[in-house]
Amino acid sequence: MNERRKRWTVLVLVSVVMAMGYVFWDIVSPISTSLKASLEEGGMGWSAAEYGFYAGSYSIFNIFLLMLFFGGVILDKCGIRFTGLLATGVMLLGAIINYAALTMVSPLLEIDVPFTLFGLIPGHLKTQVLVASLGFGLFGMGCDITGITVSKIITKWFIGHELASAMGLQVAMARLGTASALSFSPLIAQGFGLSASLLAGAGVLLFGFVLFVIYTFYDRHFDREQAVRRTGRIAGSAVSIDAKSETKEDSFRLRDICVILRNPGFWLLALLCVSFYSSIRPFMKFATDLMINTFGVAETTAGWLVAAIPYGTIVLTPLFGTLYDRYGHGARLLLGGSVLLLVADLLLAFPLSHSAAYALVIMLFVGIAFSLVPSAFWPSVPKLVPLAQLGTAYSIIYFVQNIGLMLVPVWIGGIVDRHTVRSNDGLSSLHVDYTIPMVVFAAISLLAVATSLTLLLSDGTKKDGLEQANMSQQ
């Protein structure tokens, strides 16, 4: 197998692994309305605040235990294979706990939570929600460390080649995972029960774990080939089976963190990451409920409408990545995507129509934005950070991103609860007014616009290379 075929085979393997993670990440989103339905209606009786806490729990371990930071250091010190197997295994464990919470813990049991994060977290929760959130938090820890690992894998294999195209294809596969969850989770839940969707998600994570095991063989062979090229001889047993095969000058050093933290361009990227993803990923957690309440569609239809976001990115993200590779203008792509997301949020906050067709068009706008920014963002990080520190750089970015991914869903959940009109018997919701939640999302998008504009202006003076084509670096 020639070198080009090997790296594209590797890309397929790790992209599917990441896609499996995104399947589980979004498996609950399209059935959130059913979760919030009363027990008499076949739901679990979760409140919007409890659902927001669950959605935000994805980031709890990453933030409060600094697991993303440690994950990046582990990646740079212990290597891709060890870190990837550990992370994909933790993802699978978290999914199993999440499934067990819905099948083995009664939704009637409740518990007081002493830590409310200044009132953002509900002080009184269902025990089921708490256990499910524990599992989702473990899954989130594994998923983000897997994401860091996959980003370093792609950089390792594609540096000097089709880097943005490769990352764009990986993102497209991830969006296919999201789209699959949004499209089919309601159908699985309707046919086999709410917990069946989570069981299906755990199954695909097991498949992803097996695929990463297969990747480790490619990675070991790659390291041995690199050692031969460096030394000019077959190193045999002297070749490390992991990242220790790197030369001394390429290895990670703790003081390199200071170099990363002193880079203002890096911090602008981190701020863009948290503002953009906080305005779109939490939005997708509530989007199906928004479709149902604002546009009057059924739950399965709502899932398909929201699925238009990731389905659109499957084609567009690799396309924009290829354009970035060949022609550059990465900072402009970041700005364009941020502006488009802001416009879409405002059009949902103050809809010009309440038809399903209008909702579909806006979802397509969001999908284009969700293609533009990631296609340029992730390939831009290696332009500012050397490969040896890339794992730690990505971990810092993911850490900052997770602050938003934890706080925004909890915040929005509380707002949704305050704007929900319930029936007299208190069993079901009649209507949720999503105007204020969408205004909040628009405000976060506005921060992304300001940050991306600053990045564009900064690149024009400091010449960080964000506007340069990637292929010219070969």
Written as tens digits, the pLDDT of the chain (474 aa) is 677 888 899 999 999 999 999 999 989 988 888 888 888 887 888 888 888 889 888 888 888 888 877 887 788 788 899 999 999 999 999 999 999 999 999 988 888 777 666 566 667 788 999 999 999 999 999 998 999 899 889 988 887 777 777 887 888 888 889 889 988 998 898 888 889 999 999 999 999 999 999 999 988 988 887 777 767 654 444 444 344 444 443 455 566 677 778 888 889 999 999 999 999 999 998 998 899 989 988 878 888 899 898 888 888 888 888 888 788 788 899 999 999 999 999 999 999 999 999 999 999 999 999 989 988 888 888 887 776 677 678 778 888 888 998 889 989 988 988 887 765 544 455 588 999 999 999 999 999 999 999 988 887 666 667 777 766 544
Burial class (CB in 10 A: 0-12, 13-18, 19+), 239: middle
CB atoms within 10 A of CB 355: 13
Whether this prediction's pTM lies above 0.85 is answered by no
Q: Which residue has the tokens 């060949």?
A: 326
Per-residue pLDDT of 270-289, as tens digits, reads 999 999 999 999 999 899 88
d(CA 365, CA 373): 13
Contact call for residues 34 and 298 (beta carbons, < 8 A): no
Residue 41, CA distances (Å) to 33, 102, 199 in order = 11, 16, 21
Contact call for residues 454 and 466 (beta carbons, < 8 A): no
d(CA 321, CA 170): 10
Domains and CATH numbers, the chain: 1-252 (1.20.1250.20), 253-474 (1.20.1250.20)
